[in-house]
């Protein structure tokens, strides 16, 4: 199913406004943090099945995440991927603690925290709050999806799919967009694909 970038922008505008999607399959894929405490459907005012939901702790990207997102855009033809973080994220809190106090968790959680720290360095962001770490990490994760998935990158480059990198405040549902690829956003945070 072919889409153009206006489809991604239209879907994003409807999701932000909480306009219910028609019930014939997902309209977007949402890659969210597993400990958000609020479902993607609740954030965007959607019913079950309107969003293909993929979640990991700290937005850790692995083969299953890439396969799920590629399935969404290629097999299901969704024109939008939303990388959705949240303000009170324990993974980003752990990353901020690691940055400020050199305290890293053990095991696999360590890799997720290290990935978030690399996002801060790559973005040249201030690591002075959980929100600043989350913002940098969400943007780097969105960009990283196109770097790690040629299928997703091709769709974005051809204007058949867009990516929105945003965070939500679970307390009041406020959504802040930090970057977009192939999606027009009114707050001027467009990230161009080269």
The domain that contains 46 carries what CATH number?
3.40.1050.10
The confidence band for 65, taking pLDDT boundaries of 50, 70 and 90, is: very high
55: helix, strand or coil: strand
- Is the CB of residue 170 less than 8 Å from the CB of residue 37? yes
When comparing pLDDT for 192 and 14, which is higher?
14
DSSP 164-189: EEEEE-TTT--EEEEEEES---TTS-
Tell me if 137 is assigned to a ligand binding site: no
For range 128-141, the mean pLDDT: 92
Would you say residue 143 lies in a domain?
yes
Would you say residue 16 lies in a domain?
yes
Q: pLDDT above 90 covers what percent of the chain? A: 70
Instruction: Give the model's pLDDT for residue 84.
Output: 97
For range 47-62, the mean pLDDT: 94
Instruction: Supply the pTM of this predicted model.
Output: 0.90
Instruction: Give the model's pLDDT for residue 78.
Output: 96
Would you say residue 151 lies in a domain?
yes
Would you say residue 50 lies in a domain?
yes
Does position 163 have pLDDT exceeding 80, yes or no?
yes
Instruction: Give the model's pLDDT for residue 36.
Output: 87
Would you say residue 123 lies in a domain?
no
Does position 6 have pLDDT exceeding 90, yes or no?
no
- Is the CB of residue 27 less than 8 Å from the CB of residue 10? no
Tell me if 169 is assigned to a ligand binding site: no
Tell me if 4 is assigned to a ligand binding site: no
The confidence band for 191, taking pLDDT boundaries of 50, 70 and 90, is: very low
Instruction: Give the model's pLDDT for residue 193.
Output: 37
Would you say residue 29 lies in a domain?
yes
Q: pLDDT above 70 covers what percent of the chain? A: 92
**Containing structural domain, residue 49:** 5-87+137-181
Cα distances from 125 to residues 10, 35, 117, 118, 191, in angstroms, run: 30, 23, 10, 10, 16
Does position 4 have pLDDT exceeding 80, yes or no?
no
Tell me if 165 is assigned to a ligand binding site: no
Three-state DSSP string of 65-127: HHHHHHHHHHHCCCCEEEEEEECCCHHHHHHHHHHHHCCCCCCHHHHHHHHHHHHHHHHCCCC
How many domains, in total, are found in the chain? 1
Instruction: Give the model's pLDDT for residue 144.
Output: 95
Instruction: Give the model's pLDDT for residue 67.
Output: 97
Would you say residue 107 lies in a domain?
no
18: helix, strand or coil: coil
Burial environment of residue 169 by CB neighbours within 10 A (0 to 12, 13 to 18, 19 or more):
middle
pLDDT in tens, 84-100: 999 889 999 999 999 99
Compute the mean pLDDT over every residue in the chain, rounded to the nearest whole number.
89
Would you say residue 56 lies in a domain?
yes
């Amino acid at each position: 199913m072919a889409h153009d970038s206006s489809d991604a922008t239209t879907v994003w505008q409807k999701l932000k406004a909480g306009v219910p999607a028609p019930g014939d399959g997902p309209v977007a894929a949402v890659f969210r943090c597993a400990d958000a405490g609020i479902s993607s459907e609740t954030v965007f005012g959607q019913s079950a099945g309107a969003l293909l939901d993929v979640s990991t702790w700290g937005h850790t990207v692995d083969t299953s995440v890439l396969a799920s997102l590629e399935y969404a855009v290629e097999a299901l033809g969704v024109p939008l991927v939303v990388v959705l973080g949240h303000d009170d994220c324990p993974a980003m809190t752990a990353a901020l603690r690691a940055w400020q106090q050199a305290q890293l968790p053990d095991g696999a959680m360590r890799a997720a925290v290290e990935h978030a720290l690399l996002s801060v360095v790559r973005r040249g962001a201030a690591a002075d709050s959980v929100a600043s770490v989350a913002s940098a990490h969400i943007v780097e994760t969105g960009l990283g999806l196109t770097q790690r998935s040629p299928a997703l990158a091709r769709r974005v480059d051809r204007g058949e799919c867009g990516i929105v990198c945003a965070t939500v405040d679970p307390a009041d549902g406020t959504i802040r967009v930090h970057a977009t690829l192939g999606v027009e956003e009114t707050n001027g945070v467009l990230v161009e694909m080269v």
